[in-house]
Structure 1
Amino acid sequence: MRSAFDFAPFRRSTIGFDRLFDLLENSATGQGGENYPPFDLLKLDDNRYRISLAVAGFRRDEIEITAQQNQLIVTGKKVDDDKADYIHRGIANRSFERRFGLADHIRVTDADLSDGMLSIELVREIPEAMKPRKIQIGGSTPATETIESQAERADA
């Protein structure tokens, strides 16, 4: 299924954004029908995030969290209890897989399971080489330093 927006003009005039355009074009089909388990996405500050998933009934050993190239995969595999003789079973006992697309430089720092809620902490760590730099105009050898290091020097 194609998206309602045509990204062809942007593809012709940009370099290195193929992955972004592919994500945008495939977003309409990527998450259709996937609604278990429910989750919240929280932005804690400019560089910290939290994903909270409602995984009531799952134990730590039944949940697997995998971070791979620009993707976070949370999998729950419920073992069926054949010994139980249920009269009614209303609590979901199904396995699941939830996928979250991660931007560049997003790293998972922690995960915790408490009271049926799985919380996954994420942080954006921008490499030093990608931080804004102020370029000094000078003699034959240009001096460069990050804007943050200039602020630290001014505070000292």
Structure 2
Amino acid sequence: MTRMTAFNSPFLLGFDHFERALDRITKASTESYPPYNIVQTGANSLRITLAVAGFGPEALEVLVEGNQLQIRGRQSEETERVFVHRGIATRQFQRSFMLAEGMKVSAAALGNGLLHVDLERPEPETRIQRVAITTAS
């Protein structure tokens, strides 16, 4: 059975990237680990904070691919220890955020079990272009 989409009209050619973006957003909204906050830190800046207790900097990865921010965590399994009780999960995660046009990742810092990713949107340059007017002879 084929899936019907909002972009299935013959008048909406070339909008498949929007459909893929909507699919990613829908998938991302069902994820719940790790929990995160997004705080506006300035007029053109944001901070995403993820609770990543137990992950060191070597187990975390922050990537920007196109306009998508991906944060991944991968812990290695410890085989030399014998656990009597294991209540702290060592699971992997991948959290994705769609970035608005022009948003840049300025920094990422890990401290006290929290990963802080700072985002900035630079002020757009005001460009004035003078166009010469020619006369028809």
TM-score, normalised with respect to structure 1: 0.68
Change (3 A) 1:25 1:37: closer
Distance 1:119 1:109 in 2: 11
Distance 2:21 2:76 in 1: 36
Residue 79 (structure 1) shift: 0.7
Change (3 A) 1:28 1:112: closer
1:104 corresponds to: 101
Distance 2:44 2:123 in 1: 9
1:74 corresponds to: 71
1:123 corresponds to: 120
1:62 corresponds to: 59
SS at match of 1:58: coil
Distance 1:94 1:121 in 2: 25
Distance 2:60 2:18 in 1: 32
Among all aligned residue pairs of Structure 1 and Structure 2, give the percentage whose two residues are the same amino acid: 33
Higher relative contact order (CA 8 A, sep 6+): 2
Q: How many residues align?
A: 129
Unaligned segments of structure 2, at least 5 residues: none
1:52 corresponds to: 49
More helix per residue: 1 or 2?
1
Distance 2:105 2:39 in 1: 14
TM-score, normalised with respect to structure 2: 0.76
2:89 corresponds to: 92
Distance 1:48 1:124 in 2: 6
| 1:35 is the counterpart of 2:32 | yes
Aligned-residue CA RMSD (Å): 3.0
Unaligned segments of structure 1, at least 5 residues: 143-156
Aligned partners of 1:105 and 1:126 also within 8 Å: no
